[in-house]
Structure 1
């Protein structure tokens, strides 16, 4: 029996174009089309950011703009918000869409990823962050302290009162406030305490105003390793650490340094780490109306190191996820992966 040489055999025919599904590398137009679309989208984003001159966004304009949209919607008119928070898409929707587009047969479809448990909306999201009549999340005595900026006499009286309280503390612990080493300490500590808590005098509007810009970017923006120093409100001793802030814009971005300033404003108060983490996340959410916000903080508390259980190696980690970061596990995992904390 004669055998044909392999070189003489006819080459196998290419798979017909209608057989491979759209996501197959055997489809020659797939990679070309995808690459072209991505380039066009990126180019369009760059062009939009280099378009006609527009002034930075004022926070008062943001509120009036959002109020107008809500009014049109309430009257039954079609109105698209300029910065809508897209919270309606979850993992099951995305998985189902991917499977429908990629699978060639129903048997190839896998069940959708189960919804994460315990990720419902936080009750803190109903509390407004910006108080335009006073300060951001002011306490009872905050406004009075703010008014003393225009009254040097009242500010001096407050400092003298605080110095007297420190002097009383020194006496109560068995020290002599008049000895050389402690001479002037009450006044120095009073001034230091006013600096440690200077965040009470700051307003989110004043910090952010003029640094919110229009930008066609819808991917993660992350600023890592922001150093944070605060005072534990339970013992008035420091806790220090680093904060990581990320958000997915919705046509509004903020100057990167403002993220650090927001963290600084809320940390320079008597705090607990859990509240501090949420306040930073909600402030950013209120200002930008992004698709999602994530804040992670890692810190060491001196109240656990210097007293109590005295565990020097203990590190406390807290997080706050809002919007797409809370509802979509893939987006949350991407953020944590980029932090190298997963």
Structure 2
């Protein structure tokens, strides 16, 4: 005689009993477990240790990196170049300092010549130029305002006149200034943020696209604020979300031309942008509320820009936004 098959009711009772046995075992272990204390130490997994806290310092805009008591780390001593961008030319906006400077150095280490568009931080730009030249590449400095279409057109023209071509555009320049109440966010403040962070990206892309060949790429700097929002950076967060949408839209627009478009969305990164925004007392613990309990350094973000620009690494990647947000 064939064995009787368990009824649906019996099967349900078995499952309930099993679930309760598992729960009871876990409950017993929970009662014995001491509560874990959260470590206050920042996570360190790189070539060198990075700080958790910074000097309490406030900078006057646009923020000069050379004025920072703790200079951002951009040299990336553990990063070895391997000609991923050999014989290419890259134009980087906001390339004088912060993430832009670190990108410029690593692009040069990978064999590219560099043009840097920046506002008026001439001393910072000269430091970046010297760092690029130490890597064996040429560097062109282009001071001007990315809010102006004429400057963006001129920057692209000067880059091509100097180096003969353009392969990579990095849209990175940004304006950020907090405001606690929406009623206090002035038209001038709102307009300045949108013109820098959105118009500037559009103007540069529009100027660069006719000169980019198949295999060329555009990489944008987005932000975690464009993904998660930020209650005191209403205008800035809006522009970063717009940059993410622009990235995806432009990627589809240019796919038939063989031009890739991607974005990197960093979390807190130690650059002049934040001390030129936050009060000094808030700068000290900048980034300590991330799961890694510290802000990133520019040299930790820049390799993602290499990855997204290098055809040998990302030839099948376009329209993506890569978050680098310290474990969120």
Q: Fold match, TM over 0.5?
A: no
Q: For this structure pair, what is the TM-score category when the shorter chain's length is used for normalisation?
A: under 0.3
Q: Tell me which structure has the larger Cα radius of gyration.
A: 1
Greater relative contact order (Cα < 8 A, sep 6+): 2
